[in-house]
Amino acid sequence: MRRFHPSPEARYQLLCFPHSGGSASFFFPFSQRLAPDVDVWSIQYPGRQDRGLEANVPHLHELADRVVEAVGPRLESPYALFGHSMGATLAYEVALRLQAGGKEPEALFVSGRPAPHRNVDTGLHRLLDEEIAEDIRALDGPGSEMFGDADVLRMFLPAIRSDYHAAETYEYVPGRVLKCPVRGFTGFSDPRVEAGEMHHWGDHTEGSFQLDVFSGGHFYLVDGQEEIAGEIERTLCGAGRG
């Protein structure tokens, strides 16, 4: 966990899960915006930034188990989870495990990712290196302009390919349902998931489901983090909660 703005007196803890190839620092703006009412814990996957020498984990269920092992004992406040793209599925799996262990989340926020039972292997993880680079540039994600540099590509590609493998080979396990509300966020022109597809997340909770659609593509939240953080804050800290 990376805590960029530690807020030990916060009313809520928010576990944030990055996208494929992403790192904990992606959620630095969330952390800055939500402190001190919400203590943001951004998950740093193996194989990137300060964990660059560690082996990547190309399987979501294994990664979920490892997150729960690391995070579960340290949860002290009511908490929620937020995940973008691959991170949404991972956040869902972590939420299920924590709920089964008696630590039910207040809410799950999912962004830019089909519901678990709608996962499809599109073969991205089997593409050639340059084809993966082209896919990343097409999504216009953070730092995507650097992937025209061969040295940069060699540095980041192993983590990206591993995460693509984890996301595309993920196997949904039926019969498990969350009790907490689920809120979905997505970009109107996201090539990874149509807005209507996001409604299937409602099948995975006994609680309420709400979807908000923003302008932009797969990385709509880069420019909209302030607005999305505000929605998270209102959901957790608004009237009737806490």
- Kindly report, residue by residue over 39-68, the tens digit of the pLDDT: 999 999 999 888 988 999 999 999 999 999
Q: Is 200 an annotated catalytic residue?
A: no
Residue 157: name the closest of 138, 121, 139, 131 by CA: 131
DSSP, collapsed to helix, strand or coil, labels residue 141 as coil
204 given a catalytic annotation: no
Q: Residues of the chain with pLDDT > 70: what percent?
A: 93
What whole-number distance in Å separates Cα of residue 78 and Cα of residue 237? 11
Catalytic residue among 85, 111, 125, 204: 85
For residue 127, pLDDT over 90 is answered with no
DSSP annotation of 52: T
Q: Which pLDDT belongs to residue 242?
A: 37
Q: For the chain, what is the mean pLDDT?
A: 90
In this prediction the pTM is 0.92
Peptide bond before residue 36 is cis, with ω within 30 degrees of 0: yes
